[in-house]
Amino acid sequence: MKIHTPVQRLCQFLAGCALAIHSLSAIAQTPAELARKNACMACHGLVHKQVGPGFAQIAERYRGDAEAAARLAGKIRNGSVGTWGRVIMPRQTQVSEADAQVLAQWILSQPVPR
């Protein structure tokens, strides 16, 4: 049986706390932070088109569509072409399915552009 000193126990406790805090900080990302982290903002504006449509434009198109979130999450991960003209939405396979769902819900929650 291995005997741990109080200092060793404290170090183990602190290491466990650090891991827990790191895990919580990853979970606590806002959808906007998630969009920036995954470079969504490189092609999409919040309101207006950059390379692809603005998030508010996407929300306006799909407003009232109960299945839009699932379809958008799929387009985030699998890419698409032709929905907004000839612009290609490349696959974003680095985005987890759960994060794609969060991003899709956030995009659909954007206010109507003015």
Token pair belonging to 89: 């939405």
46-71 CB burial, b ≥16 within 10 A, e <16:
beeeeebbbbbbbbeebeeeeebbee
Give the pLDDT confidence score for residue 23 in this predicted structure: 47
Mean pLDDT, the chain, rounded, equals 85
pTM: 0.73
107: pLDDT strictly greater than 80: yes
CA distance 83 to 69: 15
Give the pLDDT confidence score for residue 25 in this predicted structure: 47
Span 7-61, pLDDT tens digits = 666 546 655 655 555 444 456 699 999 999 999 999 999 999 999 999 999 999 9
